[in-house]
Amino acid sequence: MSISSQDKNILRQLGEQYINIAGLPVQKEKIKLWKSLNRGDMQRPMVCIDQIPWNELNGNGELTCHVEDLFFRGIELDLRRKIYQWSHFPVDMVIEPFITIPQSIHNTGYGLGAEVEYLSLNENETAPSQHYKRILNDDEDINKINDMKITVDEKLNTLHMQQAKDIFDGIAPVVLSHGLQFHLGIWDYMTTVLSIEDAYLEIMDRPDFVHACMERLTQSVIAGIHTANQLKIHDDITNTCHCSYVYTDELLPDCGKGKGPVSKNSWAFGMAQLFSSVSPQVTEEFELPYITRMAEHFGMIYYGCCDRLDDRMEFVKKIPNVKKVSCSPWSDRKIFAEKIGSELIMSNKPSPAFVATTNVDWDEVKNDLQSTIDAAKANNVNLELILKDISTVNFQPERLTQWAEIAMKLVEK
């Protein structure tokens, strides 16, 4: 379990690069801007880039890992990615002045695993298509869904922290992660065990069965929330939730300054992406009752992802503790901005398809971003722009740099 001198030297060099970036005055400036946005007093729209096709960005070897220890190779990869992003497309990211060591936590999940077939076109493909086999068929299968059981390996946590303190001694402080951030998007899981097509059909043909499935899954998640509260492993100090920075006076006023590792002091995120293709009333019946019961346990909620929400905002606003709402490419931005109001943050997702095409039309990128900014400004809406779900940049990482430069010029106007 000892760390080799070679591994230690690699990590110390990366740690020094990282902590030098973290010490720049701009980090505090960005935190102030994020807090202003999150309290509803936006100084300017904020910008993030996340969920990146990292395998396409390593042409010069900046992301190649060399550490042999498997656990600390994960730390190495995290450091390399943060340093890379800061160097090439930082936008409004914040580098915190410590190195985070993840806790060793095991979550059994729902106990009913998906059976998936990957349909890959070639070996270099970043995001291959997937096909899910239906395995949730009847009441007997519902009974196979278990309450989430969560355990912590305290001995391993202690060992990793001892090793990390030794590795980064004199270089950077190390902090043990406070634990888990809950994904409340039950429908994301439901589609993997029902299959996409059958999920739609069952809503129409067997609504009682669907409600029974959702009830059991909701019970499972709430059991996990309670267990994490007992263990005090909700991550109240992580500075992002679903790719968005979450510095707030109420929960996270500064780096690592959470209010305690329980759910009421933490963020969680939910979504029902499948429901972009159903009516708002289906969202009201088959999502709202369940997300409501889960969300009420948390301090703040980020809601939505790729789902369309402009036509069902009245239901989204009923979710307890909701703070940020996703405006995906499938939402009408003008209608979204008109409906969201001043108390919630419009978390816009510019289409990643713009940077995935054979040839990028940069004027189209600029006009698209400006349209969103104009819609928010016309309605006095607090706005963030998050480029995410980036399946490919055609192995041209400079596209992200150029997108970042365009976005920052527009918001800084």
CA distance 297 to 278: 28
Task: Read off the pLDDT band of 121 (50, 70, 90).
Answer: low
Other Cβ atoms closer than 10 A to 240: 16
Q: Is 340 helix (H, G, I), strand (E, B) or coil?
A: helix
Q: Where are the alpha helices (DSSP H) in 296-349?
A: 313-316, 333-340
Q: CB-hemisphere CA count at 13 Å for 324?
A: 31
Task: Read off the pLDDT band of 131 (50, 70, 90).
Answer: confident
Q: Which residue has the higher pLDDT, 271 or 122?
A: 271
The parent domain of residue 203 ranges over 5-412
Phi, psi of 220 (to 5 degrees): -60, -45
For the stretch 367-378, pLDDT in tens is 999 999 999 999
Length of the chain equals 413
Q: What per-residue confidence (pLDDT) applies to 315? A: 98
Q: CB-hemisphere CA count at 13 Å for 69?
A: 19
Q: What per-residue confidence (pLDDT) applies to 263? A: 98
Under 8 Å between Cβ of 178 and 235? yes
For the stretch 315-327, pLDDT in tens is 999 999 999 999 9
Average pLDDT, the chain: 96
CA distance 340 to 14: 42
For the stretch 186-215, pLDDT in tens is 999 999 999 999 999 999 999 999 999 999
For the stretch 237-254, pLDDT in tens is 999 999 999 999 999 999
Task: Read off the pLDDT band of 120 (50, 70, 90).
Answer: confident
In which residue are the tokens 């305290």 written? 154
CA distance 411 to 9: 40
Q: What per-residue confidence (pLDDT) applies to 22? A: 98
For the stretch 381-390, pLDDT in tens is 999 999 999 9
The pTM of this model reads 0.96
Q: Is 267 helix (H, G, I), strand (E, B) or coil?
A: strand
Among the listed residues 329, 323, 330, 310, the one whose alpha carbon sits nearest the alpha carbon of residue 369: 329
Phi, psi of 46 (to 5 degrees): -105, 155
Among the listed residues 285, 292, 411, 400, the one whose alpha carbon sits nearest the alpha carbon of residue 352: 400
Instruction: Residue 122: give its domain's CATH number.
Output: 3.20.20.210
User: Tokens at residue 282, please?
Assistant: 């289906």
Q: What per-residue confidence (pLDDT) applies to 119? A: 79
Per-residue H/E/C for 48-73: EECCCCHHHCCCCCCCCCCCCCHHHH
Domains in the chain, number: 1
For the stretch 270-301, pLDDT in tens is 999 999 999 999 999 999 999 999 999 999 99
Task: Read off the pLDDT band of 129 (50, 70, 90).
Answer: confident
User: Tokens at residue 227, please?
Assistant: 């267990």
C-alpha dist (Å) from residue 383 to 215, 256, 282, 342, 350 = 34, 25, 28, 10, 12
User: Tokens at residue 252, please?
Assistant: 């996270």
Say which residues have a Cβ less than 8 Å from residue 182's Cβ, sequence separation at least 6.
221, 224, 225, 228, 234, 263, 266, 268, 269, 294, 298
C-alpha dist (Å) from residue 120 to 114, 128, 177, 294 = 18, 5, 35, 35
Q: What per-residue confidence (pLDDT) applies to 130? A: 85
User: Tokens at residue 98, please?
Assistant: 């410590």
**Is pLDDT of 33 > 70?**
yes
**Is pLDDT of 1 > 70?**
no
C-alpha dist (Å) from residue 171 to 6, 162, 197, 285 = 16, 15, 53, 53
CA distance 307 to 153: 36
Task: Read off the pLDDT band of 123 (50, 70, 90).
Answer: low
